[in-house]
Amino acid sequence: MNPTAIPTIGRLAPSPTGAQHVGNARTYVLAWLASRTKNGKVLLRMEDIDSPRVKKGADTEAVHDLRWLGLDWDEEILVQSTRIDAYQDALKELALKELIYPCTCTRNDVLRAASAPHEDGKETIYPRTCAHRFACDASGLLDKNYCWRFRCPAKEPDFIDEFKGPIIGPAKQFANDFVVWRMACDTSLSQSWPAYQLAVVVDDAFQKVNQVVRGDDLVSSTPKQILLYQNLNLTPPAFIHLPLVVGEDGKRLAKRHGDTRLSALRHQGVKPESLLGLIAYSCGWTNKPMPVTLRDLMPLFDLKKIPNKPFVLTKDLLKGIGYEP
Ligand code: GLU
Ligand code: ZN
């Protein structure tokens, strides 16, 4: 290794809002390999700020799932719910620069902001109803639920994805002013929480992460995150967005495709090597699924061989690794 080269720092960032499934496992294995094959570090961060959706015990279970796969990490686990002060500092900085404004529009938008926007990929364009406000106007809103929105420039930044190539953002008349924080005054929510977009940037920068590997359903979040990096004077990492695992109907892996939770595979006695073999096959590194260890995968790892389309997880493939979904 070139001694002057900057070491790669990658991360695994599970959300304990539910169980980890085969699709998550593929992302974690690829993120781990993308760093370890460069002698890099891997960090683990528990993204537990989505408090209404966080499930009790899902964090411990996620750690168990990662260990079962054979993945390891350096340093202690960073837990987002312990980092609210750091996110607040970033929010203050954005407010001082008048880059954010308080928005009292729909409650749904505000509530959804804490989680990474995996679902539909279609974001609703916010009509900038509250964009006339200044940051200091928030002091008059203490009895209201509101959110802080980032004041986007006319066009979101383009970036180069190390897997997908150049991502040229659509030139919108108004780029979408996204939510960075939600403030709740009612007792059912009792707290205010940073949005995924802000927390992920503050933490990746704090942990000196310089390589982010995640599912390509988050591609549209990246220009927003780059805007935050730029305006908080932070350096963005390299981004690698990889195709998702989908069910036989081509839709994002979900309950209707049968139980693909890692815990369910374990309970039926599936060995991690069998799942790793299926992951290697899904990446085009082997021509059929056969049991392998993470060590075996190190020399096979090759981003360029991964098909640039979703991987269809069929029932037959699951049966092939000894799992009856
Ligand atoms: N915790 C996020 C998720 O599971 C990770 C998003 C990211 O990798 O930036 O969706
Ligand atoms: Zn508004």
Statement to judge: residues 89 and 191 lie in one domain: yes
Statement to judge: residues 136 and 95 lie in one domain: yes
Last residue of a domain, one of 172, 197, 222: 197
Q: Is 218 part of a structural domain of the chain?
A: no
Question: What is the SS3 assignment for 208?
Answer: coil
Question: What pLDDT, in 10s, does the model give residues 273-309?
Answer: 999 999 999 999 999 999 999 999 999 999 999 999 9
What residues form DSSP beta bridges with 182? Answer: 147, 193
Statement to judge: residues 258 and 316 lie in one domain: yes
Protein residue whose Cα sits closest to atom 10 of ligand 1: 116
Q: Is 307 part of a structural domain of the chain?
A: yes
Statement to judge: residues 192 and 122 lie in one domain: yes
The separation between CA 55 and the C-alpha centre of its own chain, rounded to angstroms, equals 17
Q: State which of 17, 200, 204, 241 you would mutate to test the pocket of ligand 1, scoring each by most atoms of that ligand within 8 A of its C-beta.
A: 200
Residue owning tokens 């061989």? 305
Task: Mark 60-83 as b/e (b = at least 16 C-beta within 10 Å).
Answer: ebbbebbebbebebeeeebebeeb
Q: Is 213 part of a structural domain of the chain?
A: no
Report the number of distinct structural domains present in the chain.
2
Which CATH number belongs to the domain containing residue 263 in this structure?
3.40.50.620
Statement to judge: residues 75 and 88 lie in one domain: no
- The model's pTM: 0.93
pLDDT at 145: 85
Closest-approaching ligand to the CA atom of 239: 1
Q: Is 190 part of a structural domain of the chain?
A: yes
Statement to judge: residues 137 and 116 lie in one domain: yes
> 116 CA distance to ligand 1 centroid (A)?
6
Q: Is 214 part of a structural domain of the chain?
A: no
Statement to judge: residues 187 and 256 lie in one domain: no
DSSP 8-state class, residue 311: E
Positions of the chain with pLDDT lower than 50, given as ranges: none
**47 Cβ closer than 6 Å to some ligand 1 atom:** yes
Q: Is 210 part of a structural domain of the chain?
A: no
CB 324 within 8 A of CB 258: no
Which CATH number belongs to the domain containing residue 141 in this structure?
3.90.800.10
Q: State which of 80, 218, 220 you would mutate to test the pocket of ligand 1, scoring each by most atoms of that ligand within 8 A of its C-beta.
A: 218
Q: Which two tokens stand for residue 183?
A: 């403030």
**Terminal C-alpha separation, the chain:** 44
**200 Cβ closer than 6 Å to some ligand 1 atom:** yes
Statement to judge: residues 135 and 172 lie in one domain: yes
Q: Is 221 part of a structural domain of the chain?
A: no
* Domain span holding position 315: 9-82+243-320
* Closest ligand 1 atom, residue 204 Cα: 9
pLDDT at 183: 85
Q: Is 219 part of a structural domain of the chain?
A: no
pLDDT at 117: 78
Burial class of residue 205, CB neighbours in 10 A (0-12, 13-18, 19+): buried
* Closest ligand 1 atom, residue 212 Cα: 8
* Closest ligand 1 atom, residue 24 Cα: 4
Closest-approaching ligand to the CA atom of 252: 1
